[in-house]
Structure formats: structure tokens, C-alpha cells
Homo-oligomer: A and B are copies of this chain.
Amino acid sequence: STPIRATLFPGDGIGPEIAESVKQIFKAADVPIEWEEHYVGTEIDPRTQSFLTWESLESVRQNRVGLKGPMATPIGKGHRSLNLTLRKELNLYANVRPCYSLPGYKTRYDNVNLITIRENTEGEYSGLEHQVVRGVVESLKIITRQASLRVAEYAFHYAKEHGRERVSAIHKANIMQKTDGLFLKCCREVAEKYPDIKYEEVVIDNCCMMLVKNPALFDVLVMPNLYGDIISDLCAGLVGGLGLTPSCNIGEGGIALAEAVHGSAPDIAGKNSANPTTLLLSGVSILRHLNLHDKPDQIQNASSTQLQKGSTELLILEVKQRQPSSPMQLFIISKY
């Protein structure tokens, strides 16, 4: 059968080496994907003289599925984060981060099983900021009915498809009555169309307190952009960190761009010591999206087995997983 074309942006720093791992693992598992690789990152590509070419965007638009490695976000360098640019250019309106306890990777929390769904295009990420007078600056948080309905609809649809019981909308409408108030209003409207899914509203500060006390109180969480940024990292912390949790961005017309959410770790780049788990599990989320039957489960189980056999120390896991040609890594694949 013809292979499925998918876009690959290896990204910055450790990106290329973890992308290489994922490619090798997918190949060993006979995943019928043919990668279309493009450079997108914070260095200017000497071949294209660009950070991000039109061809790179067009590749995702055509293929409708893609996988991206980490891209550095320079603080205060004046140019826009590439992560944000991709979200806006491709209209990636929902960011889905499942967060579950990994068998074999022990943390203070057991049986975590949360899905955060984050509005990904507006809110506090509008980029609209200015100085009013010297010493007084302001940023605009923008909430629209359209984007709020769209992400709420995605969250409830997701909950239904995945047999989830409840959607919690996270907000601070007691303070931002108009913006977060509109977000809640949209969630309520959508909730009414899904009478079988429970719906609740939780203030963000209280949500964070409850998550660290008892994550089992939550199921699917939907929220504006910045709250999603914060809560998805908090949830990742519950199960071990950003090195273990996948992420997928959903765009209009069914585009799915999965990604590693951790940093580009320039300090360890090139040493083949970075942990590819996040990018691998994000890749797996693409396989699910493509309905590739048993492949996603096979690879996910193999990576769990690997974790279980390994120590609870991430470092040891990393070394074991980072030798593409070693029996250890092939073992992950061949066992299933």
C-alpha cells in the first residue's frame, strides 16, 4: 500500500537527534509513513535563508499530519516565537495534552489520567502590547466567541469519542468577567448539546490546588490559552515532566501537528543523550489520528515496557533509548 506522507520539522537543539530516534523506531515497527522533512527553527537555514519557508507550511497543509521537535523561543529578542507562528499560520486552534501515569515511572501520584485541551490561538497570546506612558505597559487578552465555541466543541467531541465522563472549564471569571465570562458562556452553550457529558466550571487557582491534592478529581479540562499553558505543565509535573508527555495541535479541516513540548536543550544537543519519549508518544498520537490500527498501541506499549525495565531515573532510561542500533532499542520494537 502507498505510504502516508507526513511532515517532519526536527526543530532546534536536540530536535534532530530525537527525530532520528522516532524515525528509526517507526521504521523498525513498519509504520507506513514517509516523512517530508523541513527545517523550521531559530537559526536561519543556509539553504533557504529562512527560519520558516512557505513550503514548510504548505507541506503540513497538504499532508494534514505532521510532527515537530522543539523550537527555541528567544526571550525578548523582538521576533515572534516560531511555535506561536506555526499555531497562527496553520490555525491550530486546539492543543491536546494527555497526561497519564506511565507504568514504571514512579512519581508521588498514581493513576493520573487527565486530558488538557487548550485554546491555542488567542487569549493572552494575542501579541498585542504597548507602552502607555513611560513606566506603564499593557498587554491585551482577547477572547472571541468563535474561538471559544470551537475549542469547547472540540473538548466535548473528544470527551464523547474517548468515553470520558466530564469536562471542566477552567477560568478566572470572578476577576476577568468579560473575557473569561465569554469563554464560560460558550462552554455552557456547547455543554447543552452533550447531555451525557458532565460539565463543571473551576476557578484556575482552585483547580491548581485541587490538581496537586487529588488529580483524580478531574477528567477532561478545557481552558483559554495561558491557563492551558500553565495547567498542562503542572499536569506533566504530576507524572514526571515534559520529557514524558505528548502533545498534539488540531487545526481547521482536521490538521494534526503533534509536537515535543519540552525545550530544545542546547546544552546537551549533539550528544545523543536526549530522551525521545515525548516526541515518540506525540508521533504515536499521529498514528492514532490516522487510525493505524495496532501500530500506536504497539509502540506505546513498547516504550512503557522499556520504562518499566529501566530505572526510575530518567537518565538511565535516556541512555538506553538513545542507542538506535543497540539491541535494547530494537528489542522495544521486535517484542511486539
Q: Which residues of A contact B (CB under 8 A)?
A: 73-76, 78, 81, 84, 107-109, 124-125, 129-132, 134-146, 172-179, 181-182, 204-206, 208-213, 226, 229-234, 236-238, 240-242
Contact = CB atoms under 8 A, between A and B. Distances in A.
A135 B129 contact: no
A231 B234 CA distance: 11
Contacts of A242: 209
A144 B135 contact: yes
A116 to B, nearest CB: 12
Given A137-B143, A209-B237, 4 more contacts: A124-B176, A138-B140, A205-B230, A211-B234
Task: Report which residue of A178, A204, A208 has the largest number of chain B beta carbons within 10 angstroms of its beta carbon.
Answer: A208
Contact of A178 (B84, B139, B173): B139
Query: What DSSP secondary structure best describes chain A's contact surface?
Result: mixed
Copies in the complex: 2
B233 A205 contact: yes
3 closest Cβ pairs, A-B complex: A135-B145, A212-B237, A209-B237
A299 to B, nearest CB: 25
Contact of A179 (B109, B134, B139): B139
A94 to B, nearest CB: 18
A256 B210 CA distance: 29
B237 A139 contact: no
